[in-house]
Amino acid sequence: MTSEAVAGTAARNGGSRRIIVMMGAPGAGKGTQAERLSEELGLPHVSTGELFRAMLKSDSRLGRKVRGYVESGGLVPDEIVVAMVEDRLAEPDAAAGVILDGFPRTVAQAKALDRMLEQAGTSVCAVPYIEVPPELLLARLTGRRICTKDDQHVYHVVAMPPAKDGICDVDGAELYQRADDSEETVQGRLDQQLPPMFEVIDYYADHRVLLPVPGDMPAEEVTVELLRVIENTRST
């Protein structure tokens, strides 16, 4: 084998580190699936939401910076988010790889992630994308109903309906829909979040690492399909 071929093999294997990026709209079940894949593949689930919460409690230099932005109500700049992810990737449990969830959110972040990984001699190996039709997203995201007597009694008109429409099973009180879950609010949120997500998806499609999986089937089946497409990338 020539030295170029050896170097090529090493690059392809990326030291066989598996950097997986989960993609999916709100309501697609991305977090749940990332958690399941984490168990199945033995890779840590790195959610940027959790990283942020940890940072806000941390007294590290980076933690203080993040807190500064959040407390002033400002947006945390990409380089800080990337540094946060980079720190997490340096932890011993991430040596074999990670499942990223909630990052990258923009093409600029995706490019920054690529640069960071390239310096570490690796790259994103798979981007499973849970594809759910918009009308189904809307139904999932607007279906929550809460008890007017005890807000711990939570239902979902499709996924977990009460025995009697609009009535709490536990205490017979009426159920209501939070303003946050109204169709108008949810649609507004989707209109804001989906366009940058589709740009990131196009970016990964261009880099031939995108793995679309239909999300309009039971969660267990989505997991099976996700595992199948991810494992496929290993054998080719």
In the complex, the residues that contact Zn ion under the rule CB under 5 A are 147, 149-150, 153, 168, 170-171, 173
Exposure string (b/e) for 31-68, b if CB count within 10 Å is 16 or more?
Answer: bebbebbbeebebbbbbbeebeeebeeeeeeebebbbe
d(CA 218, CA 223): 9
CB of 143 or CB of 212, closer to Zn ion: 143
Residue 179 neighbours by CB under 8 Å, 6+ apart: 185
CB of 93 or CB of 150, closer to Zn ion: 150
Active site residue 111: no
CB of 45 or CB of 145, closer to Zn ion: 145
Active site residue 30: yes
Counted residue by residue, the chain has a size of 236
Q: How far is the CB of 95 from Zn ion (least distance, A)?
A: 47
Out of 30, 36, 140, 145, which one is annotated catalytic? Answer: 30
Task: Count other Cβ atoms within 10 Å, centred on residue 179.
Answer: 8
Q: Is the dihedral of CA 70, 73, 75, 79 positive or negative?
A: negative
Out of 65, 67, 144, 149, which one is annotated catalytic? Answer: 144
Q: Please state whether beta strands 124-131 and 210-214 pair in parallel, antiparallel, or not at all (unpaired).
A: parallel
Q: How far is the CB of 198 from Zn ion (least distance, A)?
A: 39
Active site residue 145: no
Q: How far is the CB of 156 from Zn ion (least distance, A)?
A: 14
Active site residue 105: yes
Active site residue 228: no
Q: How far is the CB of 172 from Zn ion (least distance, A)?
A: 8
Q: Catalytic amino acids?
A: 30, 105, 144, 178, 189
